Amino acid sequence: MKTRLKKAKNKALLNKLAIASVGATALFLYTIGVTVKPGWLTYAVQFPALAIIAITALARVNDIVAERTSLEWQARRTFLSLAGTCAVAYGVAPFWGDVFPSWLSVAMTWGLAGSWLTTPGMPPWAKYIMGEAKLPKEMT
């Protein structure tokens, strides 16, 4: 019984910390968004995340074997290709005269890239994109 109580207290503490970190992140984004306008700085901060997304999407599409032809796998190929293409488009957008990314879109891009980098059950990112890691059959 004591172990369950201890686990419940630890979980409640983690939830409080998660709520506090979300609040602190939102406050930080608001503050930086008000003080530093979108420009080359936001582009420079966002570009590495865009590269991570584009490279990871390409590697994941490449891992899907040709025998996977069901609607689910075709949708996965399509959406991974869309993610990679959009990352490249966002990466070159300032050179086409398009607008610079806002701090909110920079945070969203890094959130997506970070979630792809830390996907459970995946090998380390560098080994994965270089093709050195073997994936379980159900993932290809």
Angle at which helices 103-117 and 40-63 cross, to 10°: 30
Q: Does the pTM exceed 0.75?
A: no
Q: In this predicted model, what pLDDT tens digit does every residue of 32-76 receive, in sequence order?
A: 777 888 889 999 999 999 999 999 999 888 888 888 888 998 998
Q: In this predicted model, what pLDDT tens digit does every residue of 61-72 receive, in sequence order?
A: 888 888 888 899
**Which alpha helices (H) appear in the chain, and where do they start and end?**
2-35, 40-63, 71-92, 103-117, 125-129
Please report, for the chain, the start and end positions of each structural domain, with discontinuous segments joined by +: 1-35, 37-139
